[in-house]
Chain A
Amino acid sequence: MTIIGTTEDTDGHLIHLAANGDEQAFERIVHKYQHAVFNTIYRYTGSREDVQDLAQEIFIKVWRNAAKFKGKSKFSTWLYRIVANHCINYRRGRRKDHVSLDELTEKGITPESLRVEPDWETGRKVEKVRKAVDELPDRQRMALVLSQFEGRSYKEIAEIMKVSLSSVETLIFRARSSLRQKLAKVV
């Protein structure tokens, strides 16, 4: 049973209830975090088609492993760690079948994520930014997405990605430097 609006209604309490099979508590978690999970996956993978499946797999993983959450970190940190690992593994798996964006463009295929907006100029910019982000190494991209879009602090990103604070600083610095060169004509 969940009590809305009280101190009991915390993430830690909800996940504890979920670990004991409380579906309603779990649904509250899904409801609260589904936007963050969708956005992180989408901005990281750039694939609109796969977001739903990945998000579903992530929440199922949360449900199955709810009992493993011991409250040593914030629930959001624990959840983002699952998201980050799942996304990075997904990308690594897909790289085997990777077809470069240039190859797709040559064949006249535009992935959903690169489909131009009604405003041609904006669409072109979005396409270039997405392509540049897509080309970043996995960990740089994840650190950038968590910081830039999800507003996670460097300290939390370090916990999520299990790296040092200075590594997070370097990952984001390198990601931005790389994007700066790639987007020189767009920016």
Chain B
Amino acid sequence: MKCSQVRRKLSAYLDGEVSERDKKEIDGHLEQCKGCQEELAALSSVSDSLGIMAGMEPPSYFMTRVRQCIREEVKPRPFLGKVRSIVFSAATAFAVVLSLIIGNQVGRILYQSVAATGESQTAETTDVFGVGTLDEFPAGSLSDIYNELVAGGNNG
């Protein structure tokens, strides 16, 4: 093994994670190579210095906290959960279809009634705003004078 190959494996070598064959090769290389020995010492020193990082103990009440949480959890039984899910889906689909049918019927009824009242309203509108009605302006009003002028113009 070359130095570059050995150095890439030194970390795993330190952790005892190389194959027997690699271990023998690395051992043999290290006996002869001072540079790789120093590299190994440096990596080993890094591992040692990490040991300074303390861990953290769980507080005594942690279990109580977790227990409270899981008791608050509602855990439906698998079968009931599935049935509930199917019933909910079916009910939702039924509600959507029903609302479409009702909406369609209501829309149709409204359209028909509007169409019926629309015809009579058109007739009334003609009566109210018909030309005959608009002809009768108060005597002397601007509209009356205009009408007379127009009528005179037409006649003569």
A, B in one complex: yes
Are A39 and B66 interface neighbours, CB within 8 A? no
A41–B70 alpha-carbon span in the complex (Å): 21
Are A27 and B63 interface neighbours, CB within 8 A? yes
A180–B78 alpha-carbon span in the complex (Å): 52
Tell me, yes or no, whether A35 is within 8 Å of chain B by CB.
yes
- Give the size of the chain A interface in residues (CB under 8 angstroms): 46
Contact of A23 among B9, B43, B70 (CB under 8 A): B70
A177–B14 alpha-carbon span in the complex (Å): 13
A153–B54 alpha-carbon span in the complex (Å): 21
Contact of A173 among B11, B75, B78 (CB under 8 A): B11
Are A48 and B56 interface neighbours, CB within 8 A? yes
Are B58 and A38 interface neighbours, CB within 8 A? yes
A86–B15 alpha-carbon span in the complex (Å): 26
- Residue with the highest number of chain B CB atoms closer than 10 Å, among A43, A122, A177: A177
**A-side binding surface: helix, strand, loop or mixed?**
helix
Are A51 and B12 interface neighbours, CB within 8 A? no
Are B59 and A183 interface neighbours, CB within 8 A? no
Q: A31-B63, A59-B66, A180-B42 are in contact. Are A169 and B49 (CB under 8 A)?
A: no
A122–B51 alpha-carbon span in the complex (Å): 12
Are B66 and A129 interface neighbours, CB within 8 A? no
A179–B47 alpha-carbon span in the complex (Å): 9
Are A27 and B45 interface neighbours, CB within 8 A? no
Chain B, range 46-69, C-beta contacts under 8 Å to A = 46-50, 52-59, 62-63, 65-67, 69
Contact of B46 among A27, A34, A176 (CB under 8 A): A176
Question: Could you list some 19 contacts between A and B, CB below 8 A?
Answer: A21-B75, A30-B62, A34-B62, A35-B57, A38-B56, A52-B65, A55-B62, A125-B49, A125-B52, A148-B47, A148-B50, A149-B53, A169-B11, A169-B12, A173-B10, A180-B46, A183-B49, A187-B45, A187-B46
Interface residues of A (CB under 8 A from B): 21, 23, 26-27, 30-31, 34-35, 37-39, 41-43, 48, 51-52, 55-56, 59-60, 63-64, 67, 122, 125-126, 129-130, 133, 144, 147-149, 153-154, 169, 172-173, 176-177, 179-180, 183, 186-187
